[in-house]
């Protein structure tokens, strides 16, 4: 007998959880091998591991000399994104503070998305640490904003599009089919209740 869509989704989630667990185990093993310890929720390295890392660090000035000129020309464009990212960060934070509080739904925890920790790596020079902090911040803010807008979409319009959407968020899978008026009316409150429970 063919599996139902719900059974396939459940099986997919189970496999995704196994894959995530396998990646986490591999990452933890590699990090422990590199001397990583987590103290008070922050990544730290044992002194001998940090010394080994620093042996691989290249001087910051040498990197600038060897950087191709087209890359140097793009630096203002790259770092020019810092202000728009900061404005996005502030805007979505204020948005969820006001709207999610008013709607009674769980707020997105910013620190789950915006993680700045690569500056602790001994093998990166100052310029590389700055670049890594920028990328961590930028990608984190975008992921944070995406989760806020995904929860907003689940609250107001949990309906799939008629056309395939590339790179849709995780919540989209469970939205109602395009054109299913009865399903939308019947399930809208359930979607909102799940958000209030933090799901």
pLDDT surpassing 70 at residue 130? yes
The confidence score (pLDDT) of residue 34 equals 74
Q: Does residue 144 lie within any of the structural domains?
A: yes
Instruction: Say if 67 falls within a structural domain.
Output: no
Sequence-ordered list of residues with C-beta below 8 angstroms from that of 31, at least 6 positions apart, any chain: none
Instruction: Give the number of residues written for the chain.
Output: 199
Look at residue 25 and tell me if it is in a domain: no
Task: Give the 3-state secondary structure of residue 152.
Answer: helix
Q: Do the domain assignments include residue 35?
A: no
Q: Where does 34-156 have alpha helices with state H?
A: 47-54, 60-66, 69-79, 82-103, 126-156
Number of structural domains the chain divides into: 1
Q: Which domain holds residue 189?
A: 74-196
pTM, two decimals, is 0.81
In a domain, 141, yes or no: yes
Q: How many Cβ atoms from other residues are within 10 Å of residue 80's Cβ?
A: 10
Per-residue confidence (pLDDT) for residue 132, from 0 to 100? 93
pLDDT at 6 over 80: no
5 lies in a domain?
Answer: no
Average pLDDT over residues 62-72: 73
Beta bridge partners of 151: none
CB 129 within 8 A of CB 119: yes
Mean pLDDT within 61-76: 77
């Amino acid at each position: 007998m063919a599996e139902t869509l719900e059974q396939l989704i459940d099986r997919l989630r189970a496999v995704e959880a196994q894959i995530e667990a396998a990646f986490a185990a591999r990452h933890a093993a590699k990090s422990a091998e590199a001397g990583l310890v987590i103290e008070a929720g922050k990544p730290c390295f044992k002194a001998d591991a940090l010394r080994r890392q620093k042996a691989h660090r290249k001087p910051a000035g040498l990197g600038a000399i060897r950087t191709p000129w087209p890359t140097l020309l793009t630096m203002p464009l790259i770092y020019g994104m810092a202000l728009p990212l900061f404005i996005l960060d502030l805007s979505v934070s204020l948005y969820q503070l006001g709207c999610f509080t008013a709607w009674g739904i769980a707020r997105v925890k910013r620190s789950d998305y915006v993680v700045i920790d690569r500056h602790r790596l001994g093998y990166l020079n100052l310029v590389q640490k700055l670049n890594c902090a920028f990328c961590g911040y930028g990608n984190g803010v975008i992921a944070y904003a995406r989760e806020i807008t995904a929860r907003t979409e689940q609250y107001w319009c949990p309906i799939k599009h008629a056309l395939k959407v590339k790179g849709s968020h995780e919540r989209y899978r469970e939205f109602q089919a395009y054109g299913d008026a009865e399903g939308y009316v019947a399930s809208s409150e359930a979607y909102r209740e799940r958000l209030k429970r933090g799901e």
